[in-house]
Structure 1
Amino acid sequence: MLSELRTSRLSPHKYYELYMRAFDELRKIEIFFKEETKRGCSVIDLYELVQHAGNILPRLYLLCTVGSVYIKSKEAPAKDILKDLVEMCRGIQHPLHGLFLRSYLSQVSKDKLPGIASDYEGDGDSINDAIEFVLQNFTEMNKLWVRMQHQGPFREKERREKERNELRDLVGKNLHVLSQIDGVDLEMYKDIVLPRVVNCKDELAQHYLMDCIIQVFPDEYHLQTLETLLGAFPQLQPTVDIKTVLSQLMERLSNYAAFSTEVLLEFVQVEAFAKFNSAIGKVIDSQPDMPVVGAITLYVSLLTFTLRVHPERLDFVDLVLISGSCVKKLSGKQKIEDTKATKQIIALLSAPVEKYNDIDTALKLSNYPRVMDHLDSATNKVMAVVIVQSILKNNTCISTSEKVDALFELIKGLIRDMEGTKDEELDEDDFMEEQSSVARLVHLFHNDDPEEMLKTEKTGLLSLAESFSLFLSTFEKLRLLSKAVDLIVLSAATDPNTSSSFLYFSVLLLMASLTFIFMSKKDA
């Protein structure tokens, strides 16, 4: 059966099935070798004997099997046997054969590595030997994995990439083994492991290996080596899906912070936010062709990280909204019309509103309106609806005229004719619901100071009158009432002595007229 592993005609999936059958048989052979040593057969003689097998691939599988028994016997230092095995496996340079052979070596040796409190520590063996063995095997497997894309005709490149992707877990298992070695502390990870792993230049390997590092090593290691880890991202190939890997890293660290409040101080000490913000800016600048949706997705992830780790730092939140690279991607002569990009912008702007459940906090973010200005009219309206619904849901009190002004500036997409909006695009039911929600905001105006309350109501009613004007002008037969509303608004804007009561009753009168018109139309 071992000779069958020499075939080059099978796909990776079929070859894996063959390998698993051979693996089961090799387990039985290993038991046989153990029994032979108990009967007095020298394990050293067995180790020498299998090296006389005729074909190199079966020979090396047998050598790894006997090597496992040899290490268990402790008749020789584990590091010497492991070094010999990993070097002997260089004899197989066929990518598919070599990957599975080295995967087998990793499998049979993972419980026999020298380490702290390991049965195989001593006689000069150390944890450094175990790390070097795993990293050397990992490096050679990675070379074989990368080489797969260069074999065969160009027209089969897509098929080869698919096959490579199917085999990536064979390479990643080495990193899992490495993370399980007792005694691999932060310093070893920082000085030995991380630099070796991030050194690969292949695009598929870069994405997968960075993902593996994030998944298999402890969160505290990532936090303490954040600068080194993030420094590798701008060097990655442009085709690597950096946003996914970076987002996963930020999500994992934010979960780590949420799990224990004691570690929040560590995030402050290592300046995690500043490093992430800087790294994202460098990644975007290094890839000028990155789509807008990719850049915004990165900042959505950064904002989510910030709101979970530093919710009290509004300056951090504001900085994310106006980060240079983010604004550079958003700004331009044309409004953003990419559907995926606008969804990400809505996610970006919705995050503070959903986190704080308080529009007052969002109004304190000076850069919030600037980001909204980069939206097309339809998306601006969607975001305005999100803000209004949040206020109504949480019964947020709006207590000053300044807050009213700031709020209605944010939701101007609902109360003014925005540039680019066409009458035929309006859905009457949606429009009526939106205007109803805007009108309900007046019930949330409150201030214990009567003078300030009057000022707040006047400011709000002016904006509501503008909304009412939009409502009327939407329907052709109501243009006359629209002009009346415009006159009321003009009067209030030019005459500071115009009372809130005058505005209130004027709007009520117009609304009554509107009701009469609609009722008459219905009866007709």
Structure 2
Amino acid sequence: MNKLWVRMQHQGPARDKERREKERGELRDLVGKNLHVLSQLEGVDLDMYRDTVLPRVLEQIVNCRDEIAQYYLIDCIIQVFPDEYHLQTLDVLLGACPQLQPSVDIMTVLSRLMERLSNYAALNAEVLPYFLQVEAFSKLNNAIGKVIESQEDMPILSAVTLYSSLLKFTLHVHPDRLDYADQVLGSCVKQLSGKGKINDTRATKEIVSLLSAPLEKYNDVVTALKLTNYPLVVEYLDNETKRIMATVIIRSIMKNNTLITTAEKVEALLELIKGLINDLDEPQGLEVDENDFEEEQNSVARLVHMLYNDDTEEMFKIISILKKHFLTGGPKRLKFTIPPLVVSTLKLIRRLPVEGDNPFGKEASVTATKIFQFLNQIIEALPNVPSPDLAFRLYLQCAEAANKCDEEPIAYEFFTQAYILYEEEISDSKAQVTALQLIIGTLQRMHVFGVENRDTLTHKATGYSAKLLKKPDQCRAVYACSHLFWLEDHETIQDGDRVLLCLKRALKIANSAQQIASSGQGSAGSVTLFIEILNKYLYFYEKGIPQITVESVESLIQLIKNEESMPSDPYAESLFASTLQFMEFQKQKGGAIGDRYEEIKV
């Protein structure tokens, strides 16, 4: 039947070709059905199949020398006979593959065979030892090598697809044999060698599928990092595909909460995902979608928090490796990658061991001073991005960390750097207001400074407040500075005179703002400033600061009541009513504070 089927395509006039093709199709189905019936016969057991059926059928297939017939029949054998038979006769079946015509799609045939055997192993765990016994992996690997060798012009897509199928087979049947998986990747590298970057879209997708298989199987990037040939395959991808592959790797880490715990593995991981963290080899003028770029860099930022080790020295090695890679990533990336690196480093500082008077241990190779120097080097790169506002915030965070470590010179240096950025780089009025709020809030929490350093920093902060562009912003910043001179839990930072001076300055600025508003040159709502200042007076009055007297509170309340603009400003009216309600509540509550409020006559 097969010989007839093959012969029919070459016989008869050309005008009857369509009719002959139809008849050939019917005959092909009949040949396939006969093979199917043969597989169902009771007498065709494993012995008969191995000794008689398979050799005779393969002989017919090889000898017919017709690519269509060979592909169809070899596929029929794989589909109709039991998986157990294929496993027992693997070397015979594979031995016929290199003898087929070069144009036969042997890639699909072998891929289907490996897929069937993988499913067979998945459904019958008891046969797994037998796969090792018959050396299924070695036979398949050798067969693929011979097929590729016999077809010198085999497309790279076909070769990669074969190794991709073999890797999936290996991961299913021998998941514990990483050496097998690495061997497959090594064979793939040999096929790619000398080909340069792979530009074929389908071949590229198949390489991504090949590289994704270990990640999907083990759900653990750390296992993939043990495969020495894994990064060698990645190198053959173009830059765009490297970025896609890097994203796949990061998603796998985040999905499975995989911690990368050693500097060596972190180095290997960063080499794998360098398509996302390094742009030095990108062509000039290459347009990148901004949304995609931000999403990629945010994923890198999240990855930083998955690189962790309890040992402080090993953790410092990890963040040092991150610094090395991130600082070569180009200016656009730094604003995404530097902040998580700083945060991770600050976490490390909090974990440093405490020993006696020296909280970081005299013999420790990783000290707070060393880490703070490291932080300063990282943040110094940001103003050049330019991201001065980000660098400014990070300097203040580092200053606060140095405060907790009782490192006064370091904390002062970080504050100095923040002040320099404020003066030289932050020029927008709204940004200045926000920055000044951060300065005041951070400085208020600092206890490490001596009298001289603290006076210098607070003097600067109050000076910045008075120079803000808008009067309301000036007023609010100046009365906020009052908190810098009175901290309840620090007797050395309790200066009532300077608190009162700040509040009086705020009142003076509020008066000036009111006059501007009255002349029609400014915005309404200056009465709100008086109410806000009143609340500050009440706060310090509760604290018992002698300089904040009953008379000063009462006169301010009377000033607000006399304001003509109050009825036209619902917010100010509501705010003042809430303040008076609070005062009444404190009186009713009684106690020492209630007694103080009883003295105020509203």
TM-score range normalised by the length of the shorter chain = 0.5 to 0.7
Q: CA distance change for structure 1 residues 165 and 320 in 2, over 3 Å: closer, same or farther? A: farther
1:274 to 121, 127, 138: 138
Q: CA distance change for structure 1 residues 344 and 165 in 2, over 3 Å: closer, same or farther? A: farther
Q: Residue 368 in 1 paired to residue 230 in 2?
A: yes
Q: CA distance change for structure 1 residues 520 and 390 in 2, over 3 Å: closer, same or farther? A: farther
Q: Residue 502 in 1 paired to residue 366 in 2?
A: no
Task: Write the letter of the residue equivalent to 1:197.
Answer: V
2:278 to 416, 422, 443: 416
Taking the aligned partners of 1:503 and 1:153, their CA distance within structure 2 comes to 85
Deviation at 1:418, TM superposition (A): 5.4
Q: For residues 100-115 of structure 1, what are the structure 2 equivalents within 5 Å?
A: none
Q: CA distance change for structure 1 residues 162 and 460 in 2, over 3 Å: closer, same or farther? A: farther
Q: Which residue is equivalent to 2:319?
A: 457
Q: Which residue is equivalent to 1:219?
A: 83
Q: Which residue is equivalent to 1:342?
A: 204
Taking the aligned partners of 1:333 and 1:255, their CA distance within structure 2 comes to 33
Q: Spell out, residue by residue over 1:12-36, the C-alpha distance to the aligned partner (whole angstroms, 9 max, x if none).
A: xxxxxxxxxxxxxxxxxxxxxxxxx
Q: Which residue is equivalent to 1:168?
A: 28
Task: Decide whether the 8 Å contact of 1:404 with 1:456 is kept in 2.
Answer: yes
Taking the aligned partners of 1:186 and 1:383, their CA distance within structure 2 comes to 45
Task: Decide whether the 8 Å contact of 2:189 with 2:232 is kept in 1.
Answer: no
Q: CA distance change for structure 1 residues 328 and 364 in 2, over 3 Å: closer, same or farther? A: closer
Point out the more displaced range, 337-346 or 397-406.
397-406
Deviation at 1:421, TM superposition (A): 3.7
Deviation at 1:508, TM superposition (A): 4.5
Q: Which residue is equivalent to 1:396?
A: 258
Task: Write the letter of the residue equivalent to 2:144.
Answer: I
Task: Decide whether the 8 Å contact of 1:377 with 1:421 is kept in 2.
Answer: no
Q: CA distance change for structure 1 residues 473 and 152 in 2, over 3 Å: closer, same or farther? A: farther
Q: Which residue is equivalent to 1:247?
A: 111
Alignment TM-score, normalising by the size of structure 2: 0.56
Task: Decide whether the 8 Å contact of 2:67 with 2:103 is kept in 1.
Answer: yes
Taking the aligned partners of 1:153 and 1:327, their CA distance within structure 2 comes to 49
Taking the aligned partners of 2:252 and 2:389, their CA distance within structure 1 comes to 32
Deviation at 1:277, TM superposition (A): 0.4
Q: Which residue is equivalent to 2:387?
A: 514
Q: Residue 231 in 1 paired to residue 99 in 2?
A: no
Q: Spell out, residue by residue over 1:170-223, the C-alpha distance to the aligned partner (whole angstroms, 9 max, x if none).
A: 111111111111131111001110011112232111111111111111111000
Q: Counterpart of 1:466 in 2: which secondary structure?
A: coil
Deviation at 1:510, TM superposition (A): 5.0
Q: Which residue is equivalent to 1:198?
A: 58
Q: For residues 7-86 of structure 1, what are the structure 2 equivalents within 5 Å?
A: none
Q: Counterpart of 2:387 in 1: which secondary structure?
A: helix
Deviation at 1:156, TM superposition (A): 7.1
Point out the more displaced range, 410-419 or 220-229.
410-419
Task: Decide whether the 8 Å contact of 1:435 with 1:467 is kept in 2.
Answer: no
Taking the aligned partners of 2:106 and 2:186, their CA distance within structure 1 comes to 21
Q: Which runs of 5+ in 2 are unaligned?
A: 339-365, 391-424, 432-602
Deviation at 1:505, TM superposition (A): 4.6
2:124 to 243, 253, 260: 260
Q: CA distance change for structure 1 residues 470 and 271 in 2, over 3 Å: closer, same or farther? A: farther
Task: Decide whether the 8 Å contact of 1:461 with 1:504 is kept in 2.
Answer: no
Deviation at 1:431, TM superposition (A): 1.1
Q: Which residue is equivalent to 1:355?
A: 217
Taking the aligned partners of 2:43 and 2:176, their CA distance within structure 1 comes to 37
Deviation at 1:354, TM superposition (A): 1.3
Q: Which residue is equivalent to 2:40?
A: 180
Taking the aligned partners of 1:389 and 1:519, their CA distance within structure 2 comes to 37
Task: Write the letter of the residue equivalent to 1:341.
Answer: A
Taking the aligned partners of 1:355 and 1:264, their CA distance within structure 2 comes to 17
Alignment TM-score, normalising by the size of structure 1: 0.64
Task: Write the letter of the residue equivalent to 1:250.
Answer: M
Q: Spell out, residue by residue over 1:15-74, the C-alpha distance to the aligned partner (whole angstroms, 9 max, x if none).
A: xxxxxxxxxxxxxxxxxxxxxxxxxxxxxxxxxxxxxxxxxxxxxxxxxxxxxxxxxxxx
Task: Decide whether the 8 Å contact of 1:457 with 1:500 is kept in 2.
Answer: no
Q: Counterpart of 2:327 in 1: which secondary structure?
A: helix
Which gives a bigger RCO, structure 1 or 2 (Cα 8 Å, sep 6+)? Answer: 1
Q: Which residue is equivalent to 2:477?
A: none
Deviation at 1:460, TM superposition (A): 2.0
Identity of matched residues, %: 63
Task: Decide whether the 8 Å contact of 2:204 with 2:237 is kept in 1.
Answer: yes
Q: CA distance change for structure 1 residues 520 and 472 in 2, over 3 Å: closer, same or farther? A: farther
Task: Write the letter of the residue equivalent to 2:41.
Answer: I
Taking the aligned partners of 1:150 and 1:239, their CA distance within structure 2 comes to 18
Q: Counterpart of 1:285 in 2: which secondary structure?
A: helix
Q: Over aligned residue pairs, what C-alpha RMSD do you find?
A: 3.0
Q: CA distance change for structure 1 residues 158 and 204 in 2, over 3 Å: closer, same or farther? A: farther
Task: Decide whether the 8 Å contact of 2:8 with 2:24 is kept in 1.
Answer: yes
1:331 to 164, 174, 193: 193
Taking the aligned partners of 2:164 and 2:240, their CA distance within structure 1 comes to 20
Q: Spell out, residue by residue over 1:440-485, the C-alpha distance to the aligned partner (whole angstroms, 9 max, x if none).
A: 22211221212212222222233233336452699xxxxxx9xxxx
Q: Spell out, residue by residue over 1:316-358, the C-alpha distance to the aligned partner (whole angstroms, 9 max, x if none).
A: 00000011xx334312253110000000000011111111111
Deviation at 1:412, TM superposition (A): 1.0
Task: Decide whether the 8 Å contact of 2:225 with 2:268 is kept in 1.
Answer: yes
Task: Write the letter of the residue equivalent to 2:387.
Answer: L
Q: Which residue is equivalent to 2:183?
A: 319
Q: How many residues are matched?
A: 363
Q: CA distance change for structure 1 residues 416 and 153 in 2, over 3 Å: closer, same or farther? A: farther
Q: Which residue is equivalent to 1:447?
A: 309
Q: CA distance change for structure 1 residues 226 and 250 in 2, over 3 Å: closer, same or farther? A: same
Higher Rg of the two aligned structures = 2
Q: Counterpart of 1:150 in 2: which secondary structure?
A: coil
Point out the more displaced range, 423-432 or 356-365.
423-432
Q: Which residue is equivalent to 2:467?
A: none
Taking the aligned partners of 1:280 and 1:300, their CA distance within structure 2 comes to 11
Q: CA distance change for structure 1 residues 220 and 469 in 2, over 3 Å: closer, same or farther? A: same
Taking the aligned partners of 1:333 and 1:297, their CA distance within structure 2 comes to 16
Task: Decide whether the 8 Å contact of 1:462 with 1:503 is kept in 2.
Answer: no
Taking the aligned partners of 2:332 and 2:19, their CA distance within structure 1 comes to 58
